Structure 1
Amino acid sequence: MAKFTFNMPDVGEGVAEAEVVEWHVKVGDRVEEDQHLVDVMTDKATIDIESPVSGTVTALAGEVGDTIAIGAMLLVIETEGEVSGAEAEAAAEQVEDEMSDAPVPAEVAERIEVETSDAGDQEDAAALVPSTPVRPEPVGSEADPQGQRPSFTSEEKNGASTGSPRTEVKVLASPAVRQRAKDLGIDLAQVKPAADGRVRHADLDAFLAYNGGFGAAGVSRADEAIKVIGLRKRIAQNMAAAKRHIPHFTYVEECDVTDLETLRAQLNEGRGDRPKLTMLPLLITAICKTIPQFPMINARYDDEANVVTRYGSVHLGMAAQTDAGLMVPVIRDAQGKNLWQLAREIGRLAEAARSGKATSEELSGSTLTITSLGPLGGVATTPVINRPEVAIIGPNRIVERPMFVADGMGGERIAKRKLMNISISCDHRVVDGHDAASFIQAVKTLIETPALLLVG
């Protein structure tokens, strides 16, 4: 017997350490070569690490949430035969090579849905949220939104009923949901799951409310202590850094999108086999047409080097909400795409992320970010800048209100109009308030005169 010390492999250029997100083995477990051992996260990636040898695990380097330096001991495996230094080095190199082409993880990408600012038109692309996004480059894996990986039968994965007794049916739910249901005395088999067949906290809430348990005497919700790790931890760090280093200011303007919505409906009627247009491609087009007049908006600020880089191309990030956290698919050279190309690219990026096939290039390099809560967008938002960018734009939900409009005879009349507020947060070190207001006013002109979007 021999002890093989498996050190944390080199998981990427410039990476000095990695955080343990989830162990898939414990001391005493028998592992085989290429078996999934652990998930780790760096500032650039979430990565599945596999075993280079077969044997029995005798030691683990740390617990979930601990940080381990590259080259430091990750775990120890007792092997049945001797493992030479050359063999160990070759095994470690093979692990590193296999990680180099890793796609995006399913736990981050599995439930991305795009929502536009139109309350009545939620299209299949990316749910945009007002926050500082994180751009992981992780290895894909089949996981639930909490990062757990229970084993399911093929019937369960497909949401099919096996007809087996209830005690043999595995309900799809994360450990946190299972524990909460146990604390509340709820049989998960009695809870109606979401469309994908997985029971989530919201489903438990609905079950409690429907059965009179939510807030009823004798029923209380257990306290939960949730360790902040992995993607959630990166988001927390990036959010804190953005607010700590960037002096934000937010400007909000109201836009009349009645005519824009009419144009969108007309374009969709004759779209043929082209993707259905949402509000998002129209808004992106207005932004891109306006950027050349306000280059300071499409920029990044390196505050350590004290250099602002103004970009000639608009690489537009879309802050996307998932169960695990935020992702930012990036539309490259958005200024060079027409409405249909933008709609198609939004759909393509969303599908790539959802299926775990998005590349690191598709999730990095944005020069300006757009973020929205769609129909939940509220009256106004104060989005947090995606550092090191200097601006982030947040369209809010569309509402109908009476307004005074020209009656065509030199007077005014009251008419029902569709209105939408647009928020922009800027880095006051780089962008002046007058510039931000002027930029949004120019975008407003295009939105309220939508024919201009199709010219040039």
Structure 2
Amino acid sequence: MGTFEFKLPDIGEGVVEGEVVEWMVAVGDVVKEDDPILSVMTDKATVEIPAPCDGTVKSIVGEAGDILPVGVVCIVFDVEGDGNASAAEAEPAKNEKPAKKESPAPAATPAPAPAKPAPVEAAAPVARASGTKALASPAVRQRARAANVDLQLVAGSGPAGRISHADLDRHIAGGASGATSSRPMGGAPRVARTGTEDIKVIGLRRKIADGMMASYST
């Protein structure tokens, strides 16, 4: 006893699929070659497909309304003889020798970690003598002016008591401020601006503004 798998045939030029209209057989039915088994509708016509061989219906694929692509197995028969579908049994490999285990390579000895350099302690701030000008870079002085800090009151940790950015940060973080008012050093008191200020647009800016307004209004 063998198995015969029947694939949906090409039933017209350019036809790639068909809709199942009716199965004329059921599982367990005995059919003869050329007996009608399936009615399929395509874009061009409705076609009855005959049985390709004598046999007993083993299984069918799809039901009325299903779309089956050309070439798919749509029905399987049990037939006398070998049929056209055979399952090849895999034979166990003979005389196979187990793979030889390889001895693991010796683990590499990890290299010793480099010694960490000893942390460098920051120099202690140096007290400045009374009447001595504070030493600091222009950048530090600019930051001090912006923060309203009197550098004469900041202890420097650099050479000869030079004030660094870190010294200024430490002084600001400590809450010490050399200013006695909100007025910037060497400047006039700041006046808060309120309202709006009209600025006359002239020259090229006016031309650009006129062009933008003309473009917007058209």
TM-score of the superposed pair, with normalisation by structure 2: 0.38
Greater C-alpha Rg: 2
The structure whose residues are more often strand, as a share, is 1
For CA contacts below 8 A with separation 6 or more, give which structure has more relative contact order. 1
TM-score of the superposed pair, with normalisation by structure 1: 0.18
